[in-house]
């Protein structure tokens, strides 16, 4: 939980930087529109941007993503607009009033009155609200896609197939059929929503890309360089495991059972491209995905929760809290060479 909180605080700092840049830009634009010789509007815009950006970041990371994750798009759009409009209105009036108070002989009450009625407060607020509604809409739409997909589509990246080196992690829920029969369709869907939500912190921390949700299976991927750095791809699985374990009582109370899962990991060159006309999506093609799926399928046979290929084991530094053990060699259909697979366990489990 501490690690997740640290990640969220880093995300808040990103919003702060964006707020400062946006505030400075808007302040400079208004300074030009109003033909003001001094840089006071730009400075005020920068300060307002700092406070607004930080507040928005805190709301996004600690309020909307947690407390309102099951609300509709329209509700979140309207609620965000109302909340952020109030935030903008408060900070603009506060900073403008204090600015007037310190650079003039007016009292604080008269400074507030001047800032509200004589400094184009309502006009500036209207401009900011229009911009914020557009940005909020973009944020909401962006969450329907994997991070970066919109930029890749706009810039034309992967419109033609390219070959890249990727790591894939297949995580599959154990005894999913039994769980579905016990809970029923609706409650089982709720179970999966909570299950995937509780993985979020670990996925974000590892900088993984969620490739696909396939029923009760989730496929994560990294560029090879990014995934092996600090053993992110390996730590991701065990961070997810810890997150689910920390929420075990919640699952038992709500569903009468807690989730257990198995996983397989492999890496190699795959082709990546956009497909589809009605619904566009970035997809990966190659034997690596089939091999990863086969590796994961062996978990039950060998009573392992996490299996990785020899290629993965040889190309990363195993964290000190883990130990590997040779499990078997897989003979893949259509291939002459066998693939060695290894089980990973915490040293406390051995």
pLDDT of 246-264, one tens digit each?
999 999 999 999 999 999 9
Q: pTM above the 0.75 mark?
A: no
Q: For 275, which DSSP code?
A: E
| CA pair distance 207, 201, nearest whole angstrom | 10
Taking alpha carbons only, the member of 87, 90, 114 closest to residue 100 is 114
Report the pLDDT averaged over residues 326-349.
Answer: 84
| CA pair distance 309, 287, nearest whole angstrom | 13
Residue 118 is predicted with a pLDDT of 67
Structure tokens at 253: 């109370």
Tens digits of residue pLDDT in 77-133? 788 888 888 888 888 888 888 888 887 878 888 888 887 776 677 777 787 777 777
| CA pair distance 302, 328, nearest whole angstrom | 9
Checking if the pLDDT of 1 tops 50, the result is: no
Report the pLDDT averaged over residues 263-271.
Answer: 95
Checking if the pLDDT of 234 tops 90, the result is: yes
Residue 334 is predicted with a pLDDT of 66
Residue 3 is predicted with a pLDDT of 47
Residue 188 is predicted with a pLDDT of 95
| CA pair distance 312, 270, nearest whole angstrom | 15
Measured in whole angstroms, how far is the alpha carbon of residue 338 from the centre of its chain? Answer: 36
Sequence ranges of the domains in the chain? 2-142, 149-346
**Domain 149-346 is in which class?**
alpha beta
Query: Alpha helices, DSSP H only, in the chain?
Result: 2-33, 40-59, 65-67, 73-103, 108-117, 121-142, 149-155, 176-183, 185-205, 224-228, 232-246, 248-255, 287-301, 310-314
Confidence band for 265, pLDDT divided at 50, 70 and 90: very high
Tens digits of residue pLDDT in 18-40? 889 988 988 888 788 878 777 88
């Amino acid at each position: 939980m501490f690690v997740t909180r640290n990640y969220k605080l880093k995300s808040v700092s990103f919003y702060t930087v964006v707020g400062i840049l946006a505030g400075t830009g808007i302040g400079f634009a208004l300074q030009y529109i109003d033909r003001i010789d001094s840089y006071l509007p730009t400075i005020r815009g920068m300060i307002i941007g700092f406070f607004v950006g930080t507040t928005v970041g805190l709301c996004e990371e600690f309020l909307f993503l947690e407390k309102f994750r099951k609300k509709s798009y329209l509700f979140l759009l309207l609620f965000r607009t109302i909340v952020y409009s109030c935030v903008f209105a408060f900070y603009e009036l506060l900073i403008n009033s204090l600015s007037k108070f310190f650079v003039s002989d007016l009292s604080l009450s008269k400074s507030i009155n001047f800032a509200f009625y004589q400094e184009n407060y309502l006009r500036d607020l209207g401009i900011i609200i229009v911009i914020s509604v557009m940005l909020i809409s973009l944020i909401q739409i962006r969450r329907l896609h994997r991070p970066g997909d919109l930029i890749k589509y706009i810039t034309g990246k992967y419109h033609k197939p390219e070959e890249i080196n990727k790591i894939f992690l297949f995580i599959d829920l154990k005894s999913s059929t039994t769980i579905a029969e016990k809970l029923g369709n609706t409650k089982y869907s709720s179970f999966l929503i909570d299950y995937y939500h509780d993985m979020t912190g670990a996925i974000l921390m590892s900088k993984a890309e969620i490739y696909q949700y396939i029923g009760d299976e989730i496929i994560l991927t990294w560029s090879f360089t990014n995934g092996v750095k600090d053993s992110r791809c390996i730590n991701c699985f065990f961070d997810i495991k810890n997150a689910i374990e920390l929420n075990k009582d919640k699952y038992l109370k709500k569903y009468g059972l807690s989730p257990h899962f198995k996983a397989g990991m492999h890496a190699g060159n795959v082709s990546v491209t956009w497909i589809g006309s009605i619904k566009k999506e970035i997809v990966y093609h190659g034997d690596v995905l089939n091999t990863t799926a086969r590796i994961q399928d062996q978990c039950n046979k060998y009573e392992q929760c996490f299996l990785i290929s020899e290629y993965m084991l040889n190309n990363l530094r195993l964290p000190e809290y883990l130990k590997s053990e040779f499990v078997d060699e897989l003979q893949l259909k259509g291939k002459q060479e066998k693939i060695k697979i290894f089980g990973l366990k915490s040293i406390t489990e051995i």
